[in-house]
Amino acid sequence: MSLTTAHSVVAPSSNAKLIAGTIIIAYALISIVPLLWIFATSFKTPPDSIAYPPKIVFQPSIEGYCNLFTTRTRQTPEYINALGPPTGFCDETVRKRNMVIAGPSNFLPRFVNSLIIAFGSTFCAVFLGTLSAYGFSRFKVPLADDLLFFILSTRFMPPIAVAIPIYLMYRELGLSDTALGMILLYTAVNVSLAVWLLKGFIDEIPREYEEAAMIDGYTRLQAFWRTVLPQATTGIAATAIFCLIFAWNEYAFAALLTSGTAQTAPPFIPTIIGEGGQDWPAVAAGTTIFLVPILVFTILLRKQLLRGITFGAVRK
């Protein structure tokens, strides 16, 4: 055994730690710049957002958020002066640009669509995935290897490669532009990932737990519910985050299959650009709000996620 290999298994030296730490911090900073830029832009006024050179220090404004949640019409100053006093901060900001609020924008319903579709499909994929993974893990399923390979094979090409057949099928079935259709689609895409990930986790849970519970008077389903599930929470949480991130960020299918009532936020946000000039603060505000659910979900489950991702590398 060479000296370097022997060295690498002992605790890293302080120098190595310093270098590793520097690289990680540098990478983190580079990664976070676009996010910070979006976040900053969402609080700029439209002129500030396209100023050159770019403004690092600026007067914050929530105009972007006002524009995101409302539709506005341009009016003459006389008309605006004839109105009563502004009803709120947004009203006041908008009037300064010779506009009046005409009504709420579609952002909120689109955002709610995203929530319903992403969380709904994540729930379905994880639910089906857990049950199938348990089945594959514990029972002698005929052709189990072939079936698992078949499940995996649905991910051999990018899902969007089958966009046209799915578009035609959805039109025939009346699933176009429905939340149900999108939930089914994202579930179908995610379920193979869920089965494979969860099978790994469930394989690691000794059968003795269920066997003990079944001997102690529980049915298999009860044993699964009371002994396997509590120990699989880490895997379930990690799988759920992966599924949620996919469903939440998915753009191509959403753009193709949803246009109205079931439209999700990703295809909606770019449409803001077209309305009354390039309103970058509103786009940035939409993006910022769009990031929040994933951020919250990930922070809530971060412990499980960390253990889930390093799973297999670290033994209990």
Partner 1 sequence: MAEIRVQNLRKAFGAFVAVQDSNFVVEDGEFFVMLGPSGCGKTTTLRMIAGLELPTGGKILLGGEDVTMRRARERDIAFVFQLFALYPHMNVRKNIGFPLLAQGMPAAEIRSRVEETAKLLRIDHLLNKSVSGLAGGDRQRVALGRAIVRRPKCFLMDEPLGTLDTEFRDLMVHELRELHNRIHATTVYVTHDQMEAMSMADKIAVMNHGVIEQFGTPREIYDRPATMFVADFIGSPPMNFLKFGGGLARGAKEIVVQGAKVAVPEVREDIAPADMALGIRPEHIRFDDGSKLRGAIYGTEYLGTTQIVAVETADGIIKARVPAGIPLNPGEQVGLALSSARLSLFEKGSGRAVRTVMHDQAAEARHG
Residues that bind partner 1 (CB under 8 A): 206, 208-209, 211-219, 222, 226-227, 230-231
Nearer to partner 1, 152 or 215 (CB): 215
| Smallest separation (angstroms) from partner 1 to the CB of 210 | 9
CA distances to 14, 23, 32, 79, 231 from 28, rounded to whole Å, are 21, 9, 6, 51, 32
The DSSP call for residue 11 is P
Nearer to partner 1, 229 or 294 (CB): 229
CA distances to 62, 78, 279, 293 from 100, rounded to whole Å, are 16, 12, 16, 31
| Smallest separation (angstroms) from partner 1 to the CB of 218 | 5
Q: Which residue matches tokens 């924008």?
A: 105
Burial 121-144 (b: 16+ CB within 10 A, else e): bbebbbebbbebbbebbbeeeeee
Nearer to partner 1, 146 or 208 (CB): 208
Nearer to partner 1, 88 or 206 (CB): 206
DSSP 92-123: HHHHHTTEEEEEE-SHHHHHHHHHHHHHHHHH
| Smallest separation (angstroms) from partner 1 to the CB of 211 | 5
Contacts of 311 by beta carbon, 8 Å cutoff, 6+ apart:
200, 201, 234, 235, 238
| Smallest separation (angstroms) from partner 1 to the CB of 15 | 37
| Smallest separation (angstroms) from partner 1 to the CB of 197 | 21
| Smallest separation (angstroms) from partner 1 to the CB of 212 | 4
Nearer to partner 1, 123 or 209 (CB): 209
Nearer to partner 1, 222 or 259 (CB): 222
The DSSP call for residue 12 is P
DSSP 21-62: HHHHHHHHHHHHHHHHHHHHHTTS-HHHHT-SSPPSS-----
